[in-house]
């Protein structure tokens, strides 16, 4: 879950930065919450670090001994890359804290993270993945230049503006390769890029010219399903999510629905303020969450009620959750449960109960620092525990759970086999509940929770 911050960390000399960041020492590869979104806070920029803290003098002495050994005696023919060494030290320091959500992003990754959270980017509008040495289109984004130009899911990108993809993409992690390839295709609004694609379904190769444009990353989709139930799916909590939700609610409420299903399955989270705004669409007021800090102090954060008329305060409501519902998704689900506003249906949530602040540094890199734990309005701790649903329903793709869906576009599915959605509709329309046995899982002592999954496809800006 992220609190917004645009403060810059100014004034630190490179040597001082290196000294400060290695206080806890070590060089390691930081975890990427990646396209998975943490929860960030608004904080003033910290004072620039210009001197070694007295309390850490002995630790820094050892660090500088090693730095000087490398600088003076390490065998090399090319100049040492001090920036790479500095970034490695930063990464190692943050990794040594033992927190999966505290980490460091170099400038390029920091820009991509911010771009995604903004809810819009400029490019062709498609998701790509790098698999088995091939750059593949996962899907074009709805109404994007890529879709309008005829790009289809499964197309293989062979060349970009007549140039083959660099062979070094085969030597890096598939996620990194997809990100680098997306960077090659990206470009400003109004510019043109020509992709040479191979389409396996027709065994043909095409050159497709695409004019780049501003691409909204849609995070809210709404449909009316059987029983006159409004179905609202939220995929992430971005800057644009609240406006999208207002539009979706307006459409749904015009139908005078018998109930609303808020689908937060596989939603990795996002901005804290967006979660609070979402709660303000379904609750009149009250506490959204509590934040607990290192000194033991606890702060109540309220639901954001901005006076927007698009509110559904009385319509019966179900929230769908699963193990991919994390961070800001859990804040919304936990608050709606604690305020007895909605019934949770599905599976236990992921269990990310920490709050991060993202600080942009002087060279446009950024640091993500966990600053607090959050609790539900009732004070429940969910970190590494998750939130149990009120009604447990495993996800089953069986025909008996088929739900018809209205099609906006020819490529939209006409139906879906989804036991959780099917039972959510039953709960709202008939009150009927399933009788699936709730799974019991006993964690072993010292068992650590794995980081949330990172999507394998990258947006092609």
Catalytic residue ranges: 327, 352, 356
Find, among 162, 141, 161, the residue nearest to 153 by Cα.
141
Own/partner pairs, 307-314, CB within 8 angstroms, 24+ separation: 308/246, 308/280, 308/281, 310/246, 310/249, 310/250, 310/253, 310/281, 311/249, 311/280, 311/281, 311/282, 312/249, 312/252, 312/253, 312/260, 312/281, 312/282, 313/282, 313/283, 313/284
Greatest pairwise CA separation for the chain in angstroms: 76
Distance CA 375, CA 292 (A): 8
Contact indicator for 119, 53 with CB cutoff of 8 Å? no
The tokens for 66 are: 């090693």
Distance CA 243, CA 250 (A): 11
The tokens for 309 are: 């008329």
The CA-CA-CA angle for residues 141, 144, 146, to 5°, reads 90
Cross-strand bridge partners of residue 460: 126
Residue 35 CA: distances (Å) to CA of 62, 113, 269, 292: 36, 7, 10, 26
Helix 174-185 × helix 107-118 angle, to 10°: 70
């Amino acid at each position: 879950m992220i609190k917004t911050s645009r403060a810059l960390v100014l004034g630190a000399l490179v040597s001082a930065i290196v000294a400060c960041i290695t206080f806890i020492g070590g060089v390691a590869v930081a975890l990427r919450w990646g396209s998975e979104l943490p929860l960030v806070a608004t904080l003033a920029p910290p004072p620039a670090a210009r001197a070694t803290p007295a309390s850490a003098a002995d630790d820094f002495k050892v660090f500088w001994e090693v730095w000087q050994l490398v600088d003076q005696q390490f065998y090399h023919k090319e100049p040492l890359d001090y920036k790479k060494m500095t970034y490695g030290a930063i990464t190692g320091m943050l990794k040594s804290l033992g927190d999966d959500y505290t980490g460091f992003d170099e400038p390029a990754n920091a820009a991509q993270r911010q771009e995604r959270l903004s809810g819009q980017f400029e490019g062709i509008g498609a998701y790509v993945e790098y698999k088995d040495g091939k750059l593949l289109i996962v899907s074009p984004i709805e109404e994007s230049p890529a879709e309008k130009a005829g790009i289809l899911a499964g197309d293989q990108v062979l060349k970009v503006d007549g140039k083959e993809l660099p062979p070094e993409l085969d030597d890096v992690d598939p996620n990194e390769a997809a990100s680098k390839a997306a960077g090659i295709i990206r470009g400003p609004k109004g510019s043109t890029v020509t992709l040479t694609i191979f389409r396996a379904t027709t065994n043909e190769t095409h050159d497709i010219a695409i004019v780049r444009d501003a691409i909204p990353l849609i995070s809210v989709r709404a449909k009316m399903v059987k029983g006159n139930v409004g179905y609202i799916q939220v995929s992430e909590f971005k800057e644009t999510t609240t406006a999208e939700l207002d539009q979706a609610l307006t459409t749904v409420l015009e139908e005078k629905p018998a109930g609303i299903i808020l689908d937060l399955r596989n939603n990795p989270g996002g901005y804290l303020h967006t979660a609070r705004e979402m709660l303000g669409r379904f609750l009149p007021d009250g506490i959204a969450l509590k934040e607990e800090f290192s000194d033991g102090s606890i702060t109540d954060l309220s639901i954001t009620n901005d006076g927007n008329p698009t509110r559904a305060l009385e319509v019966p409501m179900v929230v769908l959750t699963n193990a991919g519902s994390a961070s800001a998704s859990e804040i919304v689900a936990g608050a709606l449960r604690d305020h007895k506003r909605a019934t949770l249906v599905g599976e236990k949530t992921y269990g990310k109960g920490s709050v991060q602040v993202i600080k942009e540094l002087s060279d446009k890199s950024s640091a993500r620092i966990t600053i607090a734990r959050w609790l539900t309005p009732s004070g429940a701790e969910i970190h590494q525990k998750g939130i149990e649903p009120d009604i447990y329903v495993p996800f089953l793709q069986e025909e008996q759970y088929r739900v018809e869906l209205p099609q906006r576009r020819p490529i939209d599915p006409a139906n879906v086999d989804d036991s959780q959605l099917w039972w959510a509709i039953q709960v709202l329309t008939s009150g009927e509940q399933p009788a699936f046995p709730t799974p019991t899982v006993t964690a072993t002592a010292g068992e650590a929770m794995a980081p949330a999954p990172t999507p394998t496809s990258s947006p092609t800006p």
